[in-house]
Amino acid sequence: MRILVTDGMDKGAIEQVRAMGHEVVEQFYEPEELGKALRDFDVAIIRSKTKLRKAQIDEAKGSKFKCVIRAGVGLDNIDVAYAKENGIEVKNTPKSPSESVAELAMAHMFACARSISIAGATMREGKWEKKAYSKGVELSGKTLGIVGFGRIGQKLGQLAKGIGMNVIAFDIFHIPGIEEQLGIPYVEMDELLGKSDFISVHAPAVDGGALISRDNIAKMKDGVIVVNTSRGTNVDEDALLEALNSGKIRAAGLDVFADEPATNKALYSHPAVSCTPHIGSGTNEAQARIGGELVEIIANMK
């Protein structure tokens, strides 16, 4: 097969795919060029930067192009239903990033609780503002509400319990036996919003508006800390900014944004925001695991 890799891939995995006899081309294409380019490939491996929408699918359909593989979990950068309707398979690697994303979410929780991001920034400006940043909070003994309880949410729950947090979870799907296995109960969304000292979002992008909406923020405790490492559209950024300015939300940890690269400077430069540029799966270990999943998928393709 002829395989296009648009956004990078573990080098060891590329070598394994080539050893199978496949041709691998590493090349990013702008949206207006992508559809036509895909006609010359059997498979495309993409990450979050590449978007496969109706326009690109219309240009690629009817050619040798038969499968797109998302190197990661989320599929919101692919028009999945339309691709399948036009004979293009859609696959992903859901297992591999769980540990890295969960650890980043935990890192943002610590950063928000202790003002690590802004305190470090002021030190690099030559300031010593010990008094301003000596009003942190501890995570141990606090309640963490996890919105979206798949692999990443479950891993974060285990990490949080390990440092003494109480953990509750909301998900529209309930996995049989998982509450007993992890000791983490499912609750309704309103209960989670009202009880949680920390809220971490791990749901896919949803239709019908943001999960962290103005209405849901009003139901939260005063001084809550909110973390989002899922999809930027799961948070109403205007409502979040208002809540940060009013103190309703103490701090926010954000790895994802509604527009990427991020354009909401008022939000990402806010002193109460700990931010990273969508690096949830950006560890050597996660990329190696993703590469392994990609190799397995390709090896099993007919």
Catalytic residues: 231, 260, 278
Cα–Cα distance measured from residue 109 to residue 225, given in angstroms and rounded to the nearest whole number: 7
Cα–Cα distance measured from residue 137 to residue 296, given in angstroms and rounded to the nearest whole number: 44
